């Protein structure tokens, strides 16, 4: 993304975040920001700490997943570089309409760390595939825990969630086909470049095709290496599964912070799994508004409408807004340090 697009999406996301928070507060009856802070201050500190640690794990575990894949194919990178790859992904995914908006940002830092572009592409596609599979797995686990939770939602929400299941399943198959038959994908890109050149929309076709050929060779080499290493694939899935579970667990811990029961907390976790399935396929930056609607809708049948609003605001405030802000700061710091390193 160029500078203007970054600024536009950042401002748009801030506006959307403000409108979302305003809408949630206006729909609730008497809930205030002060009341939310009081709940956090007076709640069980152990469960609040668990919620905060879950957010930290959400950021850290994606970096661990990416580094584990890189290590499996011979590109060992440090823990703090993995965290930077993760925060770049989290921040830019949150401020762009596409859930994959953070992939190019992660690739930027990986390439700056001397990882070939084709390798970075293959690693990120594999990680995204495992990310998608882990969400699907958690959705299935939620139905096994209590399938009747699906019917706690309104019809519109149920349609969104079922659509989410279908779309994510198709995405998983698509990513798998790309990973196994990347040559076809690069063939399509080549034809597209030639078409754009014939229409005089791009220049210097030969240099672009040469760069694409180099990227394709690196990508296919990486794909072949990973495909032959089952342990690398399994580790990538496990780390992604734990990462998604850590974020999904935040509403459960926030509920327990207010002296909730364990049985109902498990249902809240399962409900949040279904909610995550739903909002992950909505092309809205950070699923702002959509995620809140689904959370209030799903939690109302479990804890009541007003408690559902509180749970939504406290959970999203911690697991999304604060998480994205921290990720943005870390990414900016990493970018500044990279520029200084290049100048030196």
If residue 43 lies in a helix (H) or strand (E), which one and from where to where?
none
Query: Tens of pLDDT along the chain (344 residues)?
Result: 455 666 665 666 666 666 666 565 556 666 666 677 677 777 889 999 999 999 999 999 999 999 999 998 888 899 999 999 999 999 888 887 655 567 888 999 999 999 988 888 888 888 888 999 999 999 999 999 999 999 989 999 999 999 999 999 988 887 777 667 767 778 888 888 888 888 888 888 888 888 888 777 777 776 776 776 778 888 999 999 999 999 999 999 999 998 778 989 999 999 999 999 998 887 777 677 788 889 989 999 898 888 888 888 888 888 888 898 899 899 999 989 888 887 76
What is the per-residue pLDDT for 23? 60
Q: Please report which residue ranges of the chain form alpha helices under DSSP H.
A: 3-27, 33-42, 45-72, 79-95, 103-112, 117-146, 155-180, 182-198, 205-227, 230-248, 250-257, 262-279, 290-303, 305-316, 323-343
Identify the pLDDT of residue 19.
Answer: 65
Cβ atoms 59, 53 nearer than 8 A: no
Supply the pTM of this predicted model. 0.82
Q: Which residue has the tokens 């911690």?
A: 318
The closest alpha carbon to 79, from 102, 93, 56, 61, belongs to 61
pLDDT at residue 38, as a whole number:
73
Q: Quote the DSSP letter at residue 199.
A: T
Matching residue, tokens 């609730």: 28
**Crossing angle of the two packed helices 262-279 and 230-248, in degrees rounded to 10:** 110
- The single residue listed with the structure tokens 């327990």 is 256
User: Which string of DSSP letters, residue by residue, matches 264-324?
Assistant: HHHHHHHHHHHHHHHHTTS-SGGGTTHHHHHHHHHHHHHH-HHHHHHHHHHHHIIIIIIHH
Nearest to 133 by CA among 92, 84, 81, 179: 179
What are the angstrom distances between the C-alpha of 242 and each of 62, 95, 130, 256, 280?
9, 24, 11, 20, 17
What span, in angstroms and rounded, lies between the C-alpha atoms of 140 and 62? 21
The pLDDT value given to residue 94: 82
| CA-angle at 10, arms to 5 and 16, nearest 5° | 125
Cα four-point dihedral sign 272, 276, 282, 285: positive
State the pLDDT at residue 26. 59
Sequential DSSP letters for 255-281: HHHTT--HHHHHHHHHHHHHHHHHHTT
Domain boundaries, the chain: 43-343
30 burial type by CB count under 10 A (0-12 exposed, 13-18 middle, 19+ buried): exposed
Q: How far apart are CA 83 and CA 79, in angstroms?
A: 6
Q: Let me know: does 240 contact 65? Beta carbons within 8 Å.
A: yes
CB 46 within 8 A of CB 227: no
What is the reported pLDDT for 216? 77
The DSSP symbol for 151 reads: G
At which residue do the structure tokens 């409108």 appear?
Answer: 19
- Determine phi and psi for 283, rounding to 5 degrees: -80, 60
Task: Determine contact, residues 310/31, Cβ cutoff 8 Å.
Answer: yes
pLDDT at 268: 95
């Amino acid at each position: 993304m160029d500078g203007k697009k970054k600024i536009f999406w950042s401002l748009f996301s801030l506006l959307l975040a403000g409108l979302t928070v305003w809408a949630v507060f206006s729909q609730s009856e008497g809930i205030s920001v002060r009341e939310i802070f009081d709940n956090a201050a007076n709640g069980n500190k152990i469960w609040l700490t668990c919620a905060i640690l879950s957010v930290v794990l959400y950021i850290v575990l994606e970096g661990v997943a990416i580094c584990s894949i890189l290590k499996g194919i011979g590109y060992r990178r440090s823990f703090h570089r993995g965290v930077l790859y993760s925060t770049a992904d989290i921040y830019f995914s949150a401020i762009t309409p596409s859930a994959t908006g953070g992939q190019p940002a992660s690739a930027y830092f990986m390439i700056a760390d001397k990882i070939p572009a084709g390798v970075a592409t293959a690693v990120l596609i594999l990680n995204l595939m495992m990310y998608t599979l882990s969400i699907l797995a958690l959705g299935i686990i939620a139905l096994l825990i209590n399938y009747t939770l699906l019917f706690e939602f309104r019809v519109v929400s149920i349609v969104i969630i079922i659509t989410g299941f279908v779309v994510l399943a198709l995405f998983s198959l698509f990513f798998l086909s790309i990973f196994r038959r990347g040559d076809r994908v690069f063939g399509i890109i080549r034809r597209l470049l030639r078409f754009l050149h014939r229409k005089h929309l791009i220049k210097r076709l030969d240099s672009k095709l040469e760069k694409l050929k180099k990227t394709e060779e690196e990508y296919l080499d990486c794909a072949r290496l990973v495909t032959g290493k089952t342990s690398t694939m399994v580790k990538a899935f496990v780390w992604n599964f734990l990462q998604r579970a850590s974020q999904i667990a935040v509403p459960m811990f926030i509920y327990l912070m207010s002296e909730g029961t364990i049985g109902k907390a498990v249902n809240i976790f399962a409900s949040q799994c279904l909610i995550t399935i739903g909002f992950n396929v909505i092309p809205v930056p950070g699923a702002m508004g959509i995620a809140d609607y689904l959370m209030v809708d799903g939690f109302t049948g479990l804890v009541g409408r007003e408690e559902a609003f509180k749970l939504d605001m406290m959970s999203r405030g911690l697991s999304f807004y604060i998480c994205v802000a921290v990720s943005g700061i870390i990414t900016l710091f990493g970018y500044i340090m990279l520029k200084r390193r290049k100048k030196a």
